[in-house]
Structure 1
Amino acid sequence: MKRILVTGAAGFVGQHALAALSAASGPADRILGIGRGSPDVLPERVAYETVDLLDEPALNACLAAFRPTDVLHLAAMASVQQSADAPGETWRVNLVGLLNLAEAVVRSAPGAGFLFVSSGEVYGRAFLSGRPLTEEAAPDPQGPYARSKWFGETILRDVLARTGVRLVILRPFNQVGAGQDERFVLPSFAGQIARIEAGLVPPVLEVGNLAAERDFLPVGDVVRAYAELIARGVDIADGSVFNVASGRPRSIASVVSDLRRHARVAFEVRVAADRMRASEIPVAAGDATRLRTATGWTPRGDWDAAIADVLEHARARLGRPGP
């Protein structure tokens, strides 16, 4: 019987992870999501508690009562731009909360598997090689978000060493799907298009660097990878690092073209200075061969369906869903 704890469970990826774990779990397994907000829907056989990782007494009480066999740690300041605007909060949430959780796991669940969701962003300037990176590439993180994730990996290697807690580090690349907020590129474009369709704004889509290429995956593929790694348990070696990536970068220009095919009205594309990053990495892509070898995982999500879902979600938020 597994007892799976998911942090950040009320967030975009967290809610998809709860659904994937529920679908993959056995009848005797238990799944508990924790977070600071409330999830929209709870899947079957999933419980939820409001717990802030910065509240040590509440967190320790939760872990002592649940005693997880597996921990999927998703809770974080997840937006690169938001982290740049609030670096102090980023470090507090992404590192202090992580340290509190790791110490609580050591005390209450010393034999657990700890899956830390880091980020493909940790590679940073290593992407300048221009090729999809394997886990052997030396991280060179840029900015508070990426650096906090890299330091999180380092902290866990120290804190969990020789405790019996099995550490697995996951480096997902760009995830897309319905429910992601407009701090991320695809839902930002979709939200603008939905407002254009509704006649709320002029027919102009504001964009940043259209030449940049990024490795996108439907969020369902990403959380399926997490569920498959949890299912394999002790077969996954302590200290393992896995990219979760498609290996096929897409230009931001192609993303705009894909969205245009699903739009109900024509619109102009305009580059906005405030959407340009000071130091843009031209191409960022990952090689997930190691994950494929360990679990058999391969991306199988429908990109066009994911695009359509994100746009339809943006319309629904305005109260104007499609037929």
Structure 2
Amino acid sequence: MRRILVTGAAGFVGGHVLPLLAEAGDRVAGIGRGEPPALPAGVTYEAIDLLDETALAAFVGRFRPTEILHLAGLASVADSTSGPGQTWRVNVNGLMNLVAAVEAVPGCTFFFVSSGEVYGSAFLAGHALTEAAEPLPRNTYARSKWVGEQLLRDLLPRIGVKLVVLRPFNHIGPGQDERFVVASFAGQIARIETGLVPPCLEVGNLSSYRDFLDVADVAAAYADLIGRAAALAEGSVFNISSGRPRTIASVLDDLRALARVPFEIRVAPERVRPAEIPLAAGDAGRLHAATGWQPRIAWEASLTRVLDDARARLAASHGAG
């Protein structure tokens, strides 16, 4: 039986990947900050901050994972720009603490969730990138992930731990917070529908092309790869992406079609990121070849799930429904 440790288990993706791992019959444990909304049957959880080196080492020593899925970290590009010090502390110092703890379990496989953001300026090529593209990160978040990849390549072989790098692109779904563009649109639409705010939706740059996936498809990719851990080569890198870039404007149009009331659009200067990359998309051919994975959630179904979740959370926060 595998013993799978998921860091950041109380976060957005953790809530979607834990059930998949538990369904496979493996022993699954999660750690993270705070408490998760719900835990699947058979999954254990402890609130541990990766910056707490002692508690982290003790937990890893007790659980002795055979696989680790490292989801934990600060994931907002905007937040990393306004607070770079905290991003480096959490994404690099926390990672170093986890590596130190993993010294107790040689032979395990470490799945590091990096990001498609690491490609950065390489996206200026104007097409979907494969893993062969040289990462040229352009923001603090992306740099912290790229440094994480390099740290692990240097440190893990010395302690007998296999590294697999995962580079997911933008993913959306229930539970995502409004620092991310699709969740932001959905939350604003939900408030407009209930009359809490005027019918005017604030946006940033709508012309950029981005590669979106449903979080359920991303979680399935993680679970598929963990299930094949023994067959994966040391240092493997996998893009997790749709390969179908969409403009932010088209995403908003699709959400508008699902909205229950009309609304206007206003460009808010504070939402416009400087030095935007015009197109960012990934080629997931390597992942498909390794596991047969491909996106399964239809785009409209994915947007509907996001919007319904925003409505439900708003209703719950206002004591209705």
Scaled to the shorter chain, the TM-score interval is over 0.9
Alignment-derived partner of residue 36 in structure 1: 33
Equivalent pair of 1:73/1:115 in contact (CA under 8 Å): yes
User: Which residue matches 1:87?
Assistant: 84
**What is the aligned counterpart of 1:277 among 273, 277, 297?**
273
Q: Distance in 2 between matches of 1:12 and 1:79?
A: 12
Question: Post-superposition shift, 1:162?
Answer: 3.3
Matched, 1:192 2:188: yes
Q: How big is each residue's C-alpha offset from its partner over 1:147-168, in whole Å with a ceiling of 9 and x where there is no partner?
A: 0000000000111123220100
Q: Which residue of 2 aligns with 1:11?
A: 11
Partner of 1:223: 219
Structure 1: tracts of 5 or more residues without a match: none
Counterpart of 2:73 (choices 73, 76, 87) is 76
Alpha-carbon offset, residue 100 of structure 1: 0.6
| Counterpart position of 2:95 | 98
What fraction of aligned residue pairs are identical, expressed as a percent? 63
Equivalent position amino acid for 2:135 in 1: P
2:121 and 2:219 map into 1 onto residues whose CA distance is 26
Q: How far apart, in 1, do the equivalents of 2:159 and 2:96 lie? A: 14
| Secondary structure, aligned partner of 1:12 | coil
* Segment drifting more, 279-288 vs 160-169: 160-169
- TM-superposed CA distance for 1:223, in Å, is 0.8
**Structure 2 counterpart of 1:49, one-letter code:** E
The CA distance in 2 between the partners of 1:137 and 1:11, in whole Å, is: 29
Q: TM-score, normalised by structure 2?
A: 0.97
Query: In the alignment, which residue of structure 2 is the partner of 1:136?
Result: 132
Distance 1:295 1:313 in 2: 30
Cα deviation code 1:54-88 (max 9, x no counterpart): 11110010001000000000000011111111100
The correspondence of residues 1-323 of structure 1 with structure 2, limited to 5 A, is: 1-23=1-23, 25-26=24-25, 29-106=26-103, 108-319=104-315
Separation (CA, whole Å) in 2 of partners of 1:305 and 1:6: 27
Q: CA RMSD in A?
A: 1.3
Contact preservation (8 Å) 1:245, 1:285 = yes
SS of 1:310's partner is: helix
Contact 1:4–1:30 at 8 Å: present in 2 too? yes
**One-letter amino acid matched to 1:307:** L
The superposition leaves residues 33-59 of structure 1 with CA deviations (integer Å, 9 ceiling, x where unpaired) of 000111111012111011111111100
The answer to whether the 8 A contact 1:74-1:117 is kept is: yes
Distance 2:179 2:258 in 1: 21
- CA distance in structure 1 between the partners assigned to 2:44 and 2:59 by the alignment: 12
> Quick one: distance in 1 between partners of 2:296 and 2:211?
14
Determine if contact 1:53/1:100 at 8 Å carries over to the other structure. Answer: yes
Whether the aligned pair in 2 keeps the contact of 1:103 and 1:159 (CA below 8 Å) is: no
Q: What amino acid sits opposite 1:3 in the alignment?
A: R
**More displaced stretch, 157-166 vs 281-290:** 157-166
Tell me the TM-score normalized by structure 1: 0.97
Runs of 4+ in 1 over 2 A off after TM superposition: 320-323
**Alpha-carbon distance in structure 2 between the residues aligned to 1:235 and 1:317:** 41
Distance 1:271 1:232 in 2: 45
Query: Tell me, what secondary structure is at the counterpart of 2:315?
Result: coil
Deviation at 1:93, TM superposition (A): 0.2
- List per-residue Cα deviations over 1:247-269 (Å, max 9, x = no partner): 00011011101111111100011
AA of the residue aligned to 1:16: H
Distance 1:37 1:11 in 2: 9
Displacement of 1:233 after TM fit? 1.5
Residues 154-163 or 184-193, more deviating: 154-163
